[in-house]
Structure 1
Amino acid sequence: MEKLNSHDFQLINTCIQQIYSLRTLAEFPKWIMMLLEDLIISEESFCCSFTTQVNMMAGTMVNTWADIATPEYLRDNPALQNYLKTGSPEPNKISNFISDRDFLNREGLYETLFLHYRMRDQLGFMVSDSRRDDGLIADFEEVLCDRLKSLVDGSLPVEERPLLSAIVADPTTFYQNETLGHLSIGFHRSNRSFTDRDLSILAILLPHLKIAYRNSQQYTKFQRQLQQQSQVFDRLKAIVLTVSGDVSLISASIGNLLAYYFDGEWINSNQLPDILNSWVKQQLKVQQADLIVPIQPWQIEKNGRKLKIDLLCDFAAEQHLLICSEQSVDFSPIPHFESIGLSKREAAVLALVAAGKANLQIAEQLTISIKTVKKHLEHIFSKLNATSRIDAVNKALQQLDRSVR
């Protein structure tokens, strides 16, 4: 294994600091590729984003490396086949698996793609977030592998195949419900010259890329909701911090929440509870140090309820965000939604929409078809005079507020 020198570590630390600069999902792929291309020299590179939101996969390419998800390519790419078998997202290069002669003889790999771009090797890896605690998907890696395998063995329905390899202009199209995504990143050279140094650098960066990608998903969700309705900030349980970690703006819903979990310690809306404030300042100090480490969420439990607080740092914008989410809350909005004119099933669908579930997940949880879910949503939109999922949830909550008064 080729050892990294001090200059390599300096470049890596600089890259990590920039990785955590907040970007939307539309901006994230190009931003990451710009950073990585300073570390990994290549003649061609690509970043493909995938989602299983609609029970299929679609990609958006950062550059012109197109038509990458053909059945022949997937079948003949040994690095991708290794991923399908092991599920490991770690960096790998094609030359680790097959000889140059074998590479040239693989029609689906070389003749249909690499020959056109005059490339002879590929170094790539996967960036995804398969967390279970948010309940968005059971296991993203497993679902993605199933989609790829079904394309390779021909079992994927014909009508879904064009969408599987579709190249779209805006990746946010496939994140309308904040479904967890998956990035495939790769570099190509005209000779087999990728080194252990390249593999080591990407292996060090991979955990940071995963967290930065998760931050991007949360940041995109925050931005989209904030743009759609100004008062949504109060329901996001968010705190805007200055660059030094002091409170700049706090949503109204945070007060009772912080008071509950911190035993009434929180009484000043301009300052965080002491223990939380100390944690924030320590994390910011670490992020500004030479050695950057991933930020793990702050979690506190009380009486069967759990509060999770994510710190999203953006030194470039001179502000940071604290995003709070509560789990295992006993409150069920279903009967309340019925009180504003929705049927029992419509209320159940809207409650799952409010919980961030996609149509496929709603269908599975309620044991109905996706078509039925869409029909219920049409009725909900009509009854609430709503134009989107978020708009429907917000209008339902507004009606509940008026009925309480």
Structure 2
Amino acid sequence: MANAADHRYWATVWRRLKADRKAIACLVMLVGLILAVVAGPSLWSINPEAQFLNQIASSPIGSRTAIVVDANELWTGPDKTPEAGASTARLSVIEANTEFVRLSWRQDTSAKGYQLYRWSEGMNAASLGMPVAVLEAGDSWYEDRLNLRPERYEYTLLAVDELGTERYRQQIRVTPVLAMSEFDAELASIAEGETTIELPAHPLGTDHLGRDMLARLLEGGQVSLFIGIFAPLMYMLFGLAYGATSALIGGRVDAIMMSIVDFVIALPFLLFMILFRVALGTEPGESGIAALVIALIALGWPSPARLVRGEILRLREMPYIEAARLMGAGQRYLILRHLIPNVMGSVLVSFTFAIPSAIFTEAFLSFIGMGVVPPAPSWGSMCNDGISRLLTNPHMMLFPALAISITVLLFNLLGDALRDAMAIRRGAD
């Protein structure tokens, strides 16, 4: 009869969950998130360690065509030097791409030097722009390699006298073509020997080293979710066995075992995290995933142990347990067929709340450099990389923070739904 009642109870819980649209939506999104994190790295072809140095800290962008140029050697000037003139500089563009912009002008024999400025979108329209170079009177060319992008620039060349006073200026507008150096193309594992290549899309942009944010989010999600699910699963199982053993034995043994629980709860997590790192020989700057998982398991089991002990102490006084004992049921039968199945509901709800807690703990420790550290990605370590560039490149902080927030929120909402659906338990008992 107890088995039939348990079957009806779980059937009722399932019906209530199916009727809760929020719970179903959370479950579907969680399954989709886990599948994306597990299968995503194999489906998204970009290597998370590949560096696109011509797209450092870029915002989300689609695929683009780029030319491959030889940018290893500095330019030594045009093949034919412009003839010296008496009045105007005649500023001209020899070649313009995002690796370099090469400018040339006619020397002015009356000028004692030149000043070169570069103006771009977003600068004050009344200004000449950013100072690029201060040149001598005999110079007639310049190669600009400073942080170029495929956008419109305006170069201004000022000819000055001995006192630095402007004599005249020459301006020219240019839009560099998107380009990639041969070295960068090889570093990003793009086909060699090509003169024109198709740069892959970066739907979430790139980080400060030119690495694809989406690829790193997917790979980092594997680390974060592994720690967030594996560690709670281990300490929940241990806590289940410990709490059940304590409740069933009872007496002085129960008091001693619960004193150990109280002692472990009082231990500081961060201190023991450091001790485990030292014990495992984790050097500064190395990822401490093993130490983090061990610390979570070693210090996380007392809460589920207390929960299970309290549930079993309540359940073993129930009438159907007494009836089973009178009918000759042994201790093992009572544990496996009645006690453990009836506490699994509470354990399951506790497990769904423990996962976001573990994910947040991993993110926090990685953020302060004690968990997963670069170059290995995790959502917490990616937030650590992005916080220093929050004002200039907010996407580097935004996307991993959203991944953590959404995952934690979904697990918490699912835990709330499970708790509400299982609220009928005590009434049924």
TM range (shorter): under 0.3
Larger-Rg structure: 2
Question: What is the TM-score of this pair, normalised by structure 2?
Answer: 0.23
Question: What is the TM-score of this pair, normalised by structure 1?
Answer: 0.24
